[in-house]
Amino acid sequence: MTGTQLVSVVIPCHNEEAHLRTLVEDLTAVVDHDRMEAVLVDDGSTDATLAVMRDLAAAYPEVRFVSLSRNFGKEAAMLAGLRAARGDLVVIMDGDGQHPPEVIPALVRCQSETGADQVVARRDRSGEPALRSAISNLYYRLANRLTEIDLVSGDGDFRLLTRLAVDAVLDLQETNRFSKGLFAWIGFRTEIVTYPNRLRESGSSSWNRTSLVNYGIDGLLSFNSRPLRTVIHIGWVAVALAFAYLLWVIVVTLVNGIEAPGYVTVIAMVVFMGGLQLISIGVVGEYVGRIFMETKRRPMYFVAETSSDSRRVADGDGSVLRSGDELGQI
């Protein structure tokens, strides 16, 4: 299926012990394991995910794993997997079973036929609740207006990257990462392979409403200063509305005489302007906070253990935790 090219399949995992073994078995069944490696990344799981990874690495020579020292988030886990991947082609997929392994041969075939550097697996959202689809589509329309990249509803992290595209992503040094946007930002020829939406078979997602909202905010603020300009425009509109309201009050007073003070409208205007100011300060604060975090130059993660270790990397045995920058050498 892959010719002479090695395909690395990067799978970030957080508490996926219930799905991981089946996923790897399905993966080795549909992908030529002689020209494939599976790179499993444990993102600080609190269940037996790491133990399952150790068993899989012992049973399958094509399986390797990287265990992070704690839960650093999916973005860090994906970055760790990309740094560890050795393949000419790299596929990124989730570990919860919602990304079907049987799509991978189609991604590889599409890349071989077109020469594209990115092949995106786009789900068709069938079976998804209507409200969730509507909110998602609304978000992507808003994001495309506020950012300088083109994000498409249904396009996620499930995709194939050539070594050229992987190296381009790894050259981006920011720590506040939004990979879905980074994949769009690096450019290169991109093709699409559509697959039917697969719902999660068991368990619950670690993505709750708060984390989804925060992820959406990251997508809006990660690529440019356009949201700041939008706040400026909103501020000018608010000033214009307040001025128009003042003129209206003056005209009504001149025509009808002095009436009882409009406490309700005054309170409404104060609350509106106060809310607008808080939103504006929040947007500015987000940018300042991101600048602050970037200046720290901290690694995005530390590696506690890999499948190439003979024992767990710990402070007490003369070893030290490896930073993310060293992972590419493992």
Identify the bridge partners of residue 42 per DSSP, sorted by sequence position. Answer: 13, 67
Q: Look at 33-37, 62-66, 303-307 and tell me which has the smallest mean pLDDT.
A: 33-37
> What is the distance of C-alpha 8 from the center of its chain?
19
Pairing of strands 190-195, 63-68: unpaired
pLDDT tens track for 253-268: 777 766 656 665 676 6
Q: Look at 6-10, 244-248, 286-290 and tell me which has the smallest mean pLDDT.
A: 286-290
- Distance from C-alpha of 157 to C-alpha of 216, rounded to nearest angstrom: 14
DSSP line for 150-186: ---TTEEEEEEEEHHHHHHHHT---SS--HHHHHHHT
> b/e per residue, 102-131, with b = 16+ CB within 10 A?
ebbeebbebbeeeebbbbbbbbebeeeeee
Closest to 43 in 3D by CA, of 11, 20, 91: 11
pLDDT tens track for 99-131: 888 888 999 989 989 989 999 888 776 656 666
Closest to 23 in 3D by CA, of 154, 202, 212, 206: 202
**What strands lie across the sheet with 63-68, from one edge to the other?**
190-195, 118-123, 155-162, 89-92, 7-13, 36-42, 63-68, 302-306, 322-323
Closest to 190 in 3D by CA, of 164, 218, 222: 164
- Helix, strand or coil for residue 63? strand
> b/e per residue, 138-147, with b = 16+ CB within 10 A?
ebbeebeebb
SS3 content of the chain, % helix, strand, coil (to 5): 50, 15, 30
Q: What does the pLDDT average to over 225-230?
A: 65
Check whether 174 has a pLDDT greater than 70: yes
- Distance from C-alpha of 175 to C-alpha of 204, rounded to nearest angstrom: 28
pLDDT tens track for 205-227: 555 556 556 666 665 666 666 66
- Helix, strand or coil for residue 66? strand
pLDDT tens track for 180-201: 778 888 888 888 888 876 655 5
Q: What does the pLDDT average to over 45-64?
A: 89
* pLDDT for residue 176: 74
* pLDDT for residue 315: 37
* pLDDT for residue 313: 40
- Helix, strand or coil for residue 119? strand
Find all residues with CB under 8 Å of 70, minimum gap 6, and list them: 44, 302
* Cα 195-201-206 angle, rounded to 5 deg: 95
| Fold adopted by 7-223+299-329 | Spore Coat Polysaccharide Biosynthesis Protein SpsA; Chain A (3.90.550)
Closest to 171 in 3D by CA, of 187, 158, 157, 156: 187
DSSP line for 73-112: -HHHHHHHHHHH---SEEEE--SSS-S-GGGHHHHHHHHH
